């Protein structure tokens, strides 16, 4: 009896068949407990806070502060930090433009799942390219994607140089950290695009 019920539920939920990417015969599975039910359970709304900015601009610090503050208010959040994700999920990626794009795409997908789970997901990545951040925004509905730009001058980030990365970049030992293209992407779009600008 129980098996019949499960079988019927499965048939009812396998409603949409599609061809996605390189895979065929992919079905979207619906579950009876959805985002609305999870949000009710947690008494909060799932969303993504996306923090972008130069290395050393204070992204991780802000992400952790918001995380702690939300925790103290009884709200469940989770930080997806670029550095940490490159130890696992994204350890196969470099810092060339295509790999950064793939990095952001993957984190966008993960963030979307966290938001769907009902959590406040705080993503903290350099994410220098507007087109990549826009692609993440497009994965969620607009009010659920809050973009925060750490509006810090390069000189200040470089003076901090906690990890010694700017020193390595200036010595030509690492590439892409202080590229002109990255700054153009930030500064061209900074005034009009971001939900919030942070002057740390
Ligand atoms: N070009 C280059 N070479 C070597 N190391 C670098 C480079 N760019 C970034 N980093 C370090 O990687 C951390 C995570 O970067 P992200 O994944 O956020 O970068 S990106 O969004 O893909 O552009 C990043 O973390 P933060 O310093 O916290 O920003 C740096 O520690
Ligand atoms: N608002 C702030 N004022 C002063 N120092 C800060 C501020 N935010 C971060 N820092 C310091 O700047 C350094 C880099 O911060 P971090 O959060 O690691 O930057 P990012 O994640 O962008 O690389 C750290 O030493 C941190 O303590």
**Rounded distance from Cα 200 to ligand 2 centre (Å):** 8
Shared-domain flag, residues 159 and 98:
yes
Q: How much is the pLDDT for 4?
A: 57
Rounded to the nearest 5°, which phi and psi values hold at 13?
-85, -20
Shared-domain flag, residues 20 and 41:
no
- For atom 18 of ligand 1, the residue with the nearest CA is 125
ipTM above 0.95, yes or no: yes
Low-confidence ranges of the chain (pLDDT < 70): 1-20, 142, 179-200
Shared-domain flag, residues 71 and 18:
no
Shared-domain flag, residues 103 and 13:
no
- For atom 4 of ligand 1, the residue with the nearest CA is 174
Query: d(Cα 111, Cα 68) in Å, to the nearest integer?
Result: 18
Query: d(Cα 105, Cα 134) in Å, to the nearest integer?
Result: 10
Shared-domain flag, residues 26 and 57:
no
Q: How much is the pLDDT for 23?
A: 80
Shared-domain flag, residues 134 and 49:
yes
Buried b vs exposed e over 60-93: b needs ≥16 C-beta within 10 Å? bebbeebbeebeeeebbbbbbbbeebbeeebeeb
User: Where in the sequence is the domain holding 173, given as residue range(s)?
Assistant: 33-198
Q: Which of 46, 37, 40 is nearest to 121 (CA)?
A: 46
Q: Return the biggest CA–CA distance within the chain.
A: 71
Q: How much is the pLDDT for 104?
A: 97
Shared-domain flag, residues 71 and 16:
no
**Rounded distance from Cα 199 to ligand 1 centre (Å):** 20
**Catalytic residue annotation:** 127
Shared-domain flag, residues 39 and 25:
no
Shared-domain flag, residues 25 and 42:
no
Please write the tens of the pLDDT for every residue from 106-131: 999 999 999 999 999 999 999 998 89
Shared-domain flag, residues 12 and 49:
no
Shared-domain flag, residues 145 and 124:
yes
**Rounded distance from Cα 89 to ligand 2 centre (Å):** 24
Q: How much is the pLDDT for 197?
A: 56
Q: How much is the pLDDT for 141?
A: 76
Helix/strand number for the chain, H first, E second: 9, 7
Residues with CB under 6 A from ligand 1: 55-56, 59-60, 82-83, 86, 95, 100, 103-104, 125-128, 163, 165, 174-177
Q: How much is the pLDDT for 143?
A: 82
Q: How many domains does the chain have?
A: 2
Q: For position 67, which CATH number holds?
A: 3.40.50.300
């Amino acid at each position: 009896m129980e098996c019949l019920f499960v079988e019927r539920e499965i048939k009812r939920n396998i409603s949409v068949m599609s061809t996605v990417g390189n895979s065929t015969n992919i079905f979207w599975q619906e579950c009876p407990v959805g985002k609305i039910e999870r949000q009710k359970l947690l008494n909060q709304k799932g969303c993504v806070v996306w923090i972008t900015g130069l290395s050393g601009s204070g992204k991780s610090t802000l992400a952790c502060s918001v995380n702690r503050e939300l925790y103290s208010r009884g709200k469940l959040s989770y930080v997806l930090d670029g550095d940490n994700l490159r130890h696992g999920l994204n350890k196969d990626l470099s810092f060339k433009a295509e790999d950064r794009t793939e990095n952001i795409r993957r984190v966008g997908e993960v963030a979307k799942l966290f938001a769907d789970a009902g959590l406040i997901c705080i993503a903290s990545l350099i994410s220098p390219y507007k087109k990549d951040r826009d692609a993440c925004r497009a994965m969620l509905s607009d009010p659920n994607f809050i973009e925060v730009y750490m509006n810090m001058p390069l000189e200040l980030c470089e003076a901090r140089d906690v990890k010694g990365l700017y020193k390595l970049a200036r010595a030509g030992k690492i590439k892409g950290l202080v590229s002109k293209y990255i700054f153009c992407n930030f500064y061209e779009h900074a005034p009009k695009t971001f939900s919030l600008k942070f002057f740390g």
